[in-house]
Amino acid sequence: MNILPRLLCTATMAGTLLAPRLASADGALRTVLVIDASSSMRGTDPKELRKVAAELFVDLTRSGDELAVVGFDGAARDAMASLVVVRTPDDRAEIKRAVRAVGNDGNWTDFTAGLEGARRLLEAKPRAPGDQDLIVFLTDGRCDPDPRGPLADAARASGGKARVEQVCQAKVLDDLVPSLGKTRIYAVGLSKSAPRAFLDDLGRRTGGIGVATDRPDELPRLFADIYARLFGSRLSEGASAPSISVPVDEGASSLDLVLVGPPKLGMRLFDPKGAEVSTTGDRPGVYFSDNPAYRLLRLDAPEPGAYRLDVAGGGTGGRYAVLQNLDLHLAFPGLPEVLEIGKSATLKLRLATPGGKAPSKTFLDRHAFSLAAVEGVNACDDVALAAAAPIPLRALPDGSFEATITPSKKGALCLLGRMSPGESGVLTRETRSAAVRVIPPIHLKATLTTPFGVMKQGTVNTASISLEGSEVGELIFADIEKEGLAPGMSLSRRDVEIGPATAKRLDIALVVGRDAPPGPREITLRIVPKKPQGFEDRAVTVRVPVTIVPLTFWERYGRTLQGGLLCLFTLFLVLGLMLPARFRRTAILHYEDRRDPDLPRQAKFPLGAKARAGLYRSARVTVGPMGPVLRGGVVELRAGPGGAVLARPAAGKRATELPRDDDFSAGEPREPRLVKGWFRVSPGVKYAIEGTGLVFWWNPR
C-alpha cells in the first residue's frame, strides 16, 4: 500500500509539470492506451486493477492533451473512434467509459493487432508542432496470435525454424516500430511469463521503457510511473492524518493531492487565507476525481503560502501524497543582441520558473543538457539547427550552464537548447533563441582635439573629441560617463550614437556654474557602449583639462548692485509721488478782493483739481488779491495731513480770522496762531490778509 500512493503522487506531479501554460515546445501529449482483452486476464487480473491504473492515467492527463483506448486480443477491439482532446470532466469520463468497456474474453493475444490499432488512431489526426505521441501497452503474456492468421502462416513458412512468438516480436520490432516514427512506447507486462526482454527492447528502441510484474496491484504504480518518467516529479507523502500542512513555494504550476484509501476517507483543502478550495462545480483551475480506490485533487497555479489538507472519515487508514510542480522553462538568460566576429562570448542556458526559481541539483543531474549553434545567413533554419553539432556546456553553481562561442561569420547566430532525460531522468524541454546579430569587430578610439580651456565661472564652453580610427560595423549607442566634475558643473550630453555613417566628431558642452570652485582640474570622459549589450569592455577614456577662473567683484555682484540701486530709486520715486499731502479732491478755494469797498470782486478756484502735489512736495498754491498767481502772492496755501489746508502769509503780512456773517455774537477779528509761520485754515471760515484787500476761505465740497 505504501508503494502505490507514492507512485500515484509521483505521476500526478509529473502530469502537471507540463500544464498548458508551459512553453509551446512541449506541445500536447497524444496517448493511446493499448490494453490486453484476452480471456487470460480473468486469472491474471481478476479485480481488473489494470482498468483502475488506466483511469488514474486519464486523471493525470493535462488539459489539452489527447487520449484514446484500444483493447486487443486476436485483433483490435473495443477501440475508440478517435483521439479525444481532454478539456472537461466529461472528456475524461468518456475515456474512462472506454477503459471500462475493454473486455476479458478474447481468444488470442496478438501484439501487432493492438499496436496497429494505436497507429491508426495516431495517424488519423495529424500531429501539431511540438506534439508527442505515446503508446502505453499492457499485456499479460506472450504473443499468441490466431493460428489461422498471417503471423502463424509466416512462422510455418520459415520451415518450422521460428516459433510464432518470435515472428510476432520481430514483426513488432522490425516493421511496426519504424512505422510509428517518433512515437514512444511504454510497455507493461503482467505475469511471470511476460516477455521481459522483448518489452524492454520495445521500450528502449522507441525512447520509452519496458517493465514487467506479476502483481496486479502494482499496475497503478507502473502506469503512474510512466507519467513520472515523461515529466519529472517531486513529492511528500505519508500516512493520512486528520490535518496535514502543505507549504507551496513560488513558481508552482500546480498543486496535486492524492488520497489513497477506502471511500469513507474524504479530503478538504484550505488555501493560505483559510478559505476552502471548492471541489464541486466547474471552477476554473480545479479538478477533482472521486474514484473508489483513490481521490485526486488538482489546483492549477496555486498561490504561494501554507495550505492545509484535512482528511475526513477518521483521518487514518490511508496514504496521502502532496505534489508541488514547478513551471519550468528552458531559456538563455542575458543573451546579447549582437556578437562580433572572432570575439569569444559566454552564453548561458538555464532551467527555471518564470520567477527565477531553479530545480534542485539532484533533478538537474538526472537530465542531459545540450546546446547547438548555427551561424550565417540561414542560421535559424530548423534543419540546420537540428543537424548542428553540440557545443560543450559547463555546469555552474547556480544550476545554469554556460558555453563559450566564437562567431566567425557575419549575419546571425541561432541557438538551440535542449534538456533530455538522462539516467533516471524524465523531463524534456527545448528552446530556440532569437537571432543574434553577428557584426565585424567593434573597436573604439577617441582623441581630444579641442579642450574646454580656460573658463570663467558662469559660462559655457565646448570640447571636441575625434572618433577617427574607430572600427564600428554596426550602429551602437554609448553612454558618456564622467568623473572629476565639481559641484556646479555639468555636461550637455549623456549619450552618443556611433556607426559607419555617423559623424566622427563628438562635441560636448561644459556648463560651469557661478559657484563652481575655481582652479585647474581634469575631467575624465568614458564612452561606454550600452546598446546592443555585451560591449561594455570596449569603453574608451578621454581626459579633458579645464581651468576655472573666478569672477571679479563687479562681475559677480555688479548686476545685483545695479538691481538694488534701481529698486531703491524706484522706491524713492514711488514714495516721493505717493507720500506728499494733497488737497481734497472736492476742495474749493473762495477769494474776494476788497481793495475797493464799494465794488468787491469774488471768485473761486478748484484746489483739489488744479493744485497738484510734486515729488516729495505737498500740493501748494500762491494767492493774491486777484486769485492764484505764480509770483507776488500775499498768502501761500499748502495741503496738510488728512486733506487739511495750511496758510502762510507773505513776509510782513498779518492774517486775521473774520467773524462769520451769521454770527452776531462774535467779537472783533482775531489773529490765528502761527506755527513756524503757518496756521490751519478752518473750512468755511474767512481770513483776511491785512493791507492787501484779500479775503479767502475754502469749503470741502
pLDDT single digits (tens) 559-593: 889 999 999 999 998 888 888 999 999 999 999 99
Q: Can you read off the three cell numbers belonging to residue 428?
A: 524534456
Q: Is the pLDDT of residue 212 over 50?
A: yes
Lowest-confidence range among 296-300, 563-567, 685-689? 296-300
Confidence of residue 17 (pLDDT cuts 50, 70, 90): very low
Short-list 51, 44, 71, CA closest to 193? 44
Q: What's the whole-number mean pLDDT along residues 107-124?
A: 89
Residue with grid cell 557575419, as numbered in its chain: 410
Q: State how far the Cα of 584 lies from the Cα of 32, in Å rounded to an integer.
A: 115
Express each pLDDT in 18-45 by its tens digit. 223 333 335 788 999 999 888 888 888 8
Q: Which fold has domain 588-699?
A: Tumour Suppressor Smad4 (2.60.200)
pLDDT for the residue 465: 92
Task: Calculate mean pLDDT across residues 150-176.
Answer: 77
| Predicted local distance difference test score (pLDDT) of residue 689 | 92
Q: How far apart are the first and last CA of the chain?
A: 122
Nearest to 315 by CA among 239, 202, 401: 239
Q: Is the pLDDT of residue 141 over 60?
A: yes
Flag whether pLDDT at 178 surpasses 50.
Answer: yes
How far apart CA 10 and CA 222 sit, in angstroms, is: 11
Confidence at 122, pLDDT banded by 50, 70, 90: very high
Q: Residue 217 in 3-state DSSP?
A: helix
| Mean pLDDT over the full length of the chain | 84
Above 80 in pLDDT, residue 456? yes
Confidence of residue 655 (pLDDT cuts 50, 70, 90): very high
pLDDT digits (tens, 9 = 90+) for 213-236: 888 877 876 777 776 666 655 556
What would the mean pLDDT of 593-597 be, rounded to a whole number? 87
pLDDT at 361 over 50: yes
Higher pLDDT, 365 or 696: 696
pLDDT at residue 9, as a whole number? 33
- Compute the average pLDDT of residues 662-673: 74
Give 236-326's CATH code, choosing from 2.60.120.380, 1.10.3720.10, 3.20.20.70, 3.40.50.1980: 2.60.120.380
Local confidence band at 666 (pLDDT 50, 70, 90 cut-offs):
low
* pLDDT score for 52: 84
Report the range of poorest mean pLDDT among 240-249, 354-363, 483-492.
354-363
For residue 213, list its beta bridge partners: 190
**pLDDT of 383 above 90:** no
What are the cell numbers at 321?
501524497
Percent of the chain with pLDDT over 70: 89
541-557 confidence digits (pLDDT tens): 999 999 999 998 888 88
- Taking the domains of the chain in order of start, what are their residue ranges? 3-233, 236-326, 329-439, 447-551, 588-699
Is the pLDDT assigned to residue 11 strictly greater than 60? no
Relative to beta strand 66-72, strand 76-77 is antiparallel
User: Tell me, what's the pLDDT at 219?
Assistant: 80
The model's confidence at residue 49, banded by pLDDT at 50, 70 and 90, is confident
Predicted pLDDT of residue 233: 54
What pLDDT sits at residue 160? 56
- Return d(Cα 623, Cα 610) in angstroms, integer: 13
CA distances to 9, 78, 118, 147 from 112, in Å: 32, 16, 10, 14
Residue 249: the pLDDT is 76
CATH number of this structure's domain 3-233: 3.40.50.410
Pick from 359, 358, 331, 333: nearest CA to 346 = 333
- What's domain 447-551's superfamily in CATH? Immunoglobulins (2.60.40.10)
Average pLDDT over residues 588-614: 90
Q: In what order do the strands lie in the sheet with 267-270?
A: 243-248, 305-311, 267-270
Q: Say whether pLDDT at 140 is over 90.
A: no
pLDDT score for 154: 75
Q: Identify the pLDDT of residue 148.
A: 78
Q: Are both 329-439 and 447-551 of the same fold?
A: yes
Give the mean pLDDT of 616-620. 91
Average pLDDT value for residue range 241-247: 88
pTM of the model: 0.52
Residue 530: count of CB within 10 angstroms of its CB:
14
d(CA 493, CA 507): 9
Cα separation, 582 vs 643, whole angstroms: 6
614-623: average pLDDT: 91
pLDDT at 117 over 80: yes
The CATH homologous superfamily to which domain 329-439 belongs is: Immunoglobulins (2.60.40.10)
Q: Give the C-alpha separation, 285 to 73, whole Å.
A: 39
Q: Smallest Cα–Cα separation from 89: which of 335, 282, 370? A: 282
